[in-house]
Chain A
């Protein structure tokens, strides 16, 4: 029903924009990752794999990458542990207050990411809320120092930030489960536990996968929370990239690490999409 001209008119502009501002920059990042920096701090446009070799050879790069993945994995795990039961509660037990509670999960997203991360600093610091309370309760005599400037602080803050992101797709998946399936399971004599594990949970797996992917990918690339709360032991891979693009001035190596991250993330997205398809009924 739509003419060829119509289709061209709606297709060409976004296609062009995406080509210039997404495809081209990714291609540039790809090129950069094979170039190098001369001692005079200019970019040498000759092609080699030396940046990738360095990424594998220098301990601090791959160790930090692994540590970032470990931090992201913990954040994912905690976000799911917090987000799933909450989504289940809202979807099946909240009754008339469902909409209101749903909004309450979303609202923290409207407070600046930066400011929420900063608020955790107020809570975890050595003269912060938590330490004062601990000392007041005589649970400890001296401030607990590991709370702030540690991987713990980074994991806690990122979990706080990405829990709503894990919650949303899980909640959407649970809301899509036809209630008559749940009812049938009850009528046929299943206990609530059996109904959950045999009916509800399998049907919510696509949502869990989507939520886990969000939490993992977004926390993997984070560099602000580690800078604010991580201290030396909480440094993540993006912090290294930031320094390579800044003071350390080695764009090609930074591009190679970014590209490794991009490939990791895109393949993760690919696999989670495949798995989601496999697990979705209909």
Chain B
């Protein structure tokens, strides 16, 4: 730590262009978000500049729009079910990769991670063919299966990173003291993995809520929120979409902040962000 501090101070001040560049990138990243939020209050619709006649009407219309809220409920259901599937299969997959040897392990590891990096269209279409051949009717269930499968990778990477840090001596002690594997799993392994699992669950939930490329091909009669928005975008839209996006943005922001506070209390901030960077890098 000593070294780190002195190492940092040994560095010269950043060149001015680097500072300007960082500022410009942040402006670029946030410009559409600011525009989005401002236009949710724009009385004149989504076009035109500057925004005129600021109003809360779009929020009022939004709250009375049952199609949007139905799709929000659908999305929440899908995200929850996908999260359960991804965890139920992703956590054992991490355990298997950490502690079992089996033929095809390297292939399995790659396959599990593949949907995260593949364009969604490939995952979506290949599953569409499976459902078509087996005569499965497209519905929210097929979307759940798609999201669950694509997001197992998230649970597996997060939990695998957690397992690498886990001290196996605890599990060994539990087994030596007469607990069986089942008890050891529930009372020692799982509690130690609480943080990566909760983190993975939140990530899976939010990724599923926003997923569109896979859902696009697996959609039945009921829309998820992104698909409902997509349908409206194509018909020409109103700032109602900006309003619902603003609400979701604020909502996910609050979730993230709460999650960070929770984590900081248990781990300490620097470590959290280092670890997050690490998992992001793994992906």
Contacts and interface: CB of A to CB of B under 8 A. Distances in A.
A102 B280 CA distance: 12
A25 B233 CA distance: 31
A128 B49 contact: yes
B213 A254 contact: no
Interface string A90-110: 101101001101111101101
B249 to A, nearest CB: 5
Given A5-B181, A221-B119, A28 B32 contact: no
A255 interface: yes
A89 B19 contact: yes
Contact of B112 (A18, A28, A168, A254): A18
The 7 closest A-B pairs by CB, nearest first: A221-B119, A172-B281, A179-B7, A25-B126, A119-B32, A14-B93, A132-B49
B119 A222 contact: yes
A223 B96 contact: no
Interface in A1-51: 1-3, 5-7, 9-11, 13-15, 17-18, 21-26, 28-29, 32
Interface of B: 3-4, 6-8, 10-14, 18-19, 21-22, 25-26, 28-33, 35-36, 39, 46-50, 88-90, 92-93, 95-96, 99-102, 108, 111-112, 114-115, 117-122, 125-130, 133, 145, 148-149, 152, 168, 171-172, 175, 181, 206, 210, 212-213, 216-217, 226, 229-230, 233, 237, 241-242, 245, 248-249, 252-253, 256, 260, 269-270, 273-274, 276-278, 280-281, 283
Nearest to A120: B32
B277 A102 contact: yes
A93 B125 CA distance: 45
Contacts of B276: 102
Contacts of B233: 114, 118, 228
A128 B32 CA distance: 12
A66 interface: no
Given A1-B175, A88-B18, A129-B49, A99 B270 contact: yes
Contact of A160 (B32, B50, B89, B152): B32
A36 B171 CA distance: 55
A58 B142 CA distance: 34
B126 to A, nearest CB: 3
A116 B33 contact: yes
B49 A169 contact: no
Contacts of A104: 26, 29
20 contacts: A18-B108, A23-B111, A29-B125, A85-B21, A89-B18, A89-B21, A93-B13, A101-B22, A111-B249, A115-B229, A123-B35, A127-B48, A128-B49, A133-B49, A168-B277, A168-B280, A183-B3, A210-B281, A265-B118, A265-B119
A29 B119 CA distance: 15
Of residues B12, B25, B108, which shows the largest number of chain A Cβ atoms within 10 Å of its Cβ?
A: B25
B127 to A, nearest CB: 5
Interface in A230-269: 238, 241-242, 245, 251, 254-255, 258, 261-262, 265-266, 269
Given A14-B152, A22-B149, A110-B206, A186 B125 contact: no
Contacts of B21: 85-86, 89
Nearest to A186: B10
B122 A262 contact: yes
B129 A160 contact: no
Contact of B36 (A9, A115, A262): A115
A221 B120 contact: yes
A68 to B, nearest CB: 10
A10 B11 contact: no
A213 B117 contact: yes
B252 to A, nearest CB: 4
A149 interface: no
Given A15-B96, A92-B14, A115-B242, 16 more contacts: A2-B181, A18-B89, A24-B130, A29-B125, A85-B22, A102-B273, A108-B30, A110-B206, A112-B226, A114-B210, A122-B39, A123-B31, A123-B35, A169-B280, A183-B6, A245-B217
